[in-house]
Amino acid sequence: MGDMSKIRNIVILTGAGVSAESGIDTFRGANDGRGGLWEEHRVEDVATPEAYAADPGLVLRFYDMRRASIQTKQPNAAHLALARLEAEWAGSGRGAILIVTQNVDDLHERGGAKRVLHMHGEHLSAWCGACDGRMEWTGPLIDRPPCPLCGARALRPDIVWFGEMPYRMEEIYAALREADLFVSIGTSGAVYPAAGFVRHAREMGARTLELNLEASQGSAWFHESRLGAATELVPEWVEEVLAGDEAGG
Ligand code: NAD
């Protein structure tokens, strides 16, 4: 992986692949189980503002189902290893670690990670179209419950749909500029702007490493690609980083 003694700041981008072994379907890739389809719809056709405008009930049901489902899942060895890395790296005073996730599940947090940027929103959050408030939400939205903040029946999933602006982009690009190491885990490299982070980090001087089940669309941008399951590759890599950290002082 190169000389770890020069590494201070690490940005880790995760995608659906990191949660696949917790039993949460990915959208793309060999193990999505549905060929990218949900009840005969392409996921892109459900996860858009246009789809919500055309058939809000269908979209709300889709997200109600996924919101209920993720609450039955548990973090896996990859989530736990990243939380350990975050705690030990930050504890060593060596540099900053930032986990940027495209995932809308909360498995990084339940695995113990403290600072996670959800660039595509969160299943366990609702957003009010009337007052613009955001709040923790664990139940269904299909019955149009009133917003606890303003009373309007205008809550939607707090999810960044295709064609909407991802969250926290300024913070993410600032971290990428400062990164010495950029690591991408379990993402297909098909969804921009996240798919462009590797190129940006590399152009700013970071080493780049990919951990994924299969080569992603942006593989050529990585200095190193390791192919395999996240629950094996991520704990191994974390061991390596922390061992190198001790060796490198
Ligand atoms: P994706 O579905 O497009 O790609 C998943 C990638 O993970 C594939 O390259 C696949 O080869 C890899 N993968 C599958 N199983 C793996 C494993 N066990 N170990 C390592 N890698 C594995 O997902 P994406 O790139 O994150 O982008 C799609 C969008 O889907 C994102 O915007 C995200 O918000 C959304 N999404 C989120 C979740 C979730 O929150 N868990 C689940 C599905 C989709």
pLDDT tens-digit profile of 93-123?
Answer: 889 999 999 999 999 999 999 999 999 999 9
Q: Can you read off the two tokens belonging to residue 36?
A: 């990218």
Quote the pLDDT of residue 72.
97
Tens digit of pLDDT for each residue in 34-82? 555 565 667 777 899 999 999 999 999 999 999 999 999 999 999 999 9
Find the 155 Cα to ligand 1 centroid distance in Å.
26
Instruction: Judge whether residue 174 has pLDDT over 80.
Output: yes
Average pLDDT over residues 214-223: 91
Q: Does residue 159 line the site of ligand 1, with CB under 6 A?
A: no
pTM value? 0.94
> Is 43 within the bounds of a domain?
yes
Which DSSP state fits 5?
G
Q: Can you read off the two tokens belonging to residue 229?
A: 């399951």
Last residue of a domain, one of 159, 178, 213: 159
User: What does the alpha-carbon distance between residue 50 and residue 56 come to, in Å, rounded to a whole number?
Assistant: 9
Tens digit of pLDDT for each residue in 157-172? 999 999 999 999 999 9
213 shares its domain with 226? yes
CATH of the domain at 50: 3.30.1600.10
17 shares its domain with 30? no
Q: Does residue 186 line the site of ligand 1, with CB under 6 A?
A: yes
214 is in which domain, residue-wise? 10-24+75-120+166-248
133 shares its domain with 213? no
154 shares its domain with 64? yes
Q: Whose CA is nearest to atom 14 of ligand 1?
A: 17
CATH of the domain at 180: 3.40.50.1220
16 shares its domain with 100? yes
116 shares its domain with 126? no
